Amino acid sequence: MAERLLDPAVQRDPFGYYRQLRQDAPVSLMPGTGFYVLTRYEDLRAVLRDTETFSSTLDLEELSGERARRLAALFNERLAEKGWAHVPTLHQSDPPEHTRYRRLLSKVFSPGRVRQLVPGLELVCDRLIDSFAGRGRCEFVSEFAFPLPGIVISEQLGLEPGQIDTFRHWADAMLAPAQGLLTDEDTAIGYADIEAEAQHYLAEVFHARRARPADDLISALVAASDEEQRPLSMHELQNLLHQLITGGYITTADAITSAMWLLVRNPEQMRRVRADPSLIKALAEESLRMLAPVQGLFRKATRDTVIRGVPIPAGSILHVRYGAANRDEEAFARPDEFDVTREHVTRHMSFGQGPHACVGAPLARQEMVTAFERLLGRLDGIGLDGEPGYREGLLFYSFGTLPIRFA
């Protein structure tokens, strides 16, 4: 039954199918993959909080076919030769090792540090809006949602504002293995060389920030590492930055785009937010619940267990489907209704839960809030200017284009 998650049409609009899975087979084996797909909120909550039984120590390459594994191995060999090989840090480790990395990054993404970024975020938002406000229309994904987190992260890496294309080039290479873009040996080697180029740049920045700290996230990460009894190695620093770049770029852009899509599809909700801007924080949370940028991730069972009466043998891969849990009728009243006044909306699964909940969530939330404070404060009469385009995929809910108009 769960094989339909591989259908591009279902990936574009999976929510009716999620409802069917929750009702008929909340723990469902996906044919051809061996994944157990979980769709109920309480099941995900239990799995995500039990790191002893359900481990994060697995690579996406484990879940791919032989050809994909071979190309990924080639990518990793080339990266080790030209730069620094990937090592398991935040997402691919379990406590107690995971606890060390999370403690370090919690200092980097503290609420106080994120608040310090707000004036810069507002300036970036205004510059982007200035570039299209006079036209009365824009392609929202390419002209606002993607540039915003890209510029924010690239500035934190020490890149000049005009080097956003360099950052995109690097980020695309870092994301290529997870997005299935290693199509042949030449592309695998090419993407590895690009990531190695980014790594050497970052290594220079690490050394520079250690000698002369600046007011940016890399300085904070280096400082937090140096305070440790066992400072991070260059391999660990590189891998953490890799995860921050890949995790904080496309998913934040998709979250901003989804929030705009939901507003233009629900004009009465947009009127409520305009009348009461204090609802913008709730808008961010409700849009994350409705359209989670990451629809699901994976865990590995470390021992035989049972979920809802379904035996799960040790070594099994579980696909925890956040997007389905966020629409669970047992967790949320009227789950398919977009409501910016919803109570307890922060209970959604879109940043995960438990020890592996997204450490960069404070920054992503602030980017969303600042974006819509500026957009709704400056643009009136926002509506669709054509049909959106989607990028299908098993893991992500992602818009390719979203044309909008405004006054």
Alpha helices in 65-216 (DSSP H): 66-82, 97-108, 111-116, 118-130, 140, 147-156, 164-175, 185-211
The pLDDT, as a whole number, for residue 385 is 97
Q: Does this model's pTM top 0.85?
A: yes
Strands 317-320 and 35-38: parallel
SS3 content of the chain, % helix, strand, coil (to 5): 55, 10, 30
C-alpha dist (Å) from residue 262 to 270, 284, 373, 378: 9, 11, 16, 19
| Identity of the residue numbered 385 | D
The predicted structure's pLDDT at residue 215: 85
Residue position matching structure tokens 């740049």:
201
Topology of domain 2-405, per CATH? Cytochrome p450 (1.10.630)
pLDDT tens digit sequence for 136-159:
999 999 999 999 999 998 888 887
What is the spatial distance between Cα 351 and Cα 356, in angstroms, rounded to a whole number?
A: 9
What confidence category does residue 30 fall into, taking pLDDT thresholds of 50, 70 and 90? confident
Rounded to whole angstroms, how far apart are CA atoms 18 and 106?
Answer: 33
CA distance 254 to 71: 28
Of the candidates 295, 276, 339, 210, the one whose C-alpha atom is nearest the C-alpha of residue 15 is 295
Query: Considering just the CA atoms, what is the radius of gyration of the chain in Å?
Result: 21
Tens of pLDDT along 311-353? 999 999 999 999 999 999 999 999 999 999 999 999 999 999 9
Q: Residue 205: its pLDDT value, please?
A: 93
**Six-digit token string for 337:** 């209704």
* Averaged pLDDT score across all residues of the chain: 92
